[in-house]
Amino acid sequence: MPGVLGISASPNGGNLDTSIVPGGSTQVTFSCDTAQAGSFTYAYQCSYVEDGGEAPTGDAFYTYTCDVRDPESDVVPTPASGSTLSGIVSPGGSATLQAVFGETNDEGADGTLESCTLADGTNFAITSPTFPGSYPIPSGGTLPVVVEGTDPGGVESITDTLTCTYFDSGSGEGGVTVNYNLLLTVGGNSGFTVTKTFTDGRTDEVDVTLTCNGGLPLEQSFTIAGGGPGVTFVVSNVETGPTCEVTESGGPDGYTAVMNGGAGCVFEDVQPGGEYTCAIENIANPGMFTVHKEWLITEPADEDDIRQIAELWVFCDKPIIGSESGSEGDVPLAPPIYGHGYPVLGDGYVTAYVDTSTGPANCTGAEGVFGYENPPSGVEATSDCPPAINDVNQGVPDFTDPSTWIEVEAGGSGECTITNTLFFEGIPTLSQWGMAIMALLMLGMGMIGFRRFA
**What are the residue ranges spanned by the domains of the chain?**
3-68, 75-186, 189-284, 287-423
Cα(305)–Cα(422) distance, integer angstroms: 13
At residue 4 the predicted structure's pLDDT band, cuts being 50, 70 and 90, is: very low
Q: Kindly tell me if the per-residue pLDDT of 269 is higher than 70.
A: yes
Q: In this predicted model, what pLDDT tens digit does every residue of 390-435 receive, in sequence order?
A: 444 445 556 566 667 899 999 999 999 988 877 665 444 444 434 4
CATH code of the region 189-284: 2.60.40
Q: Which segments of 151-213 are extended strands (E)? A: 157-167, 176-186, 188-198, 205-212
Cα(135)–Cα(141) distance, integer angstroms: 13
CATH T-level fold of 75-186? Immunoglobulin-like (2.60.40)
Q: Is pTM beyond 0.85 here?
A: no
Is there a contact between 188 and 272 (Cβ–Cβ < 8 Å)?
Answer: yes
Partners of 244 in the β-ladder: 212, 267
Identify the architecture of domain 287-423 in CATH.
Sandwich (2.60)
At residue 330 the predicted structure's pLDDT band, cuts being 50, 70 and 90, is: very low
Q: Kindly tell me if the per-residue pLDDT of 338 is higher than 70.
A: no
Q: Return the DSSP state at 213.
A: S
Whether 75-186 and 287-423 share one fold: the answer is yes
Cα(259)–Cα(266) distance, integer angstroms: 9
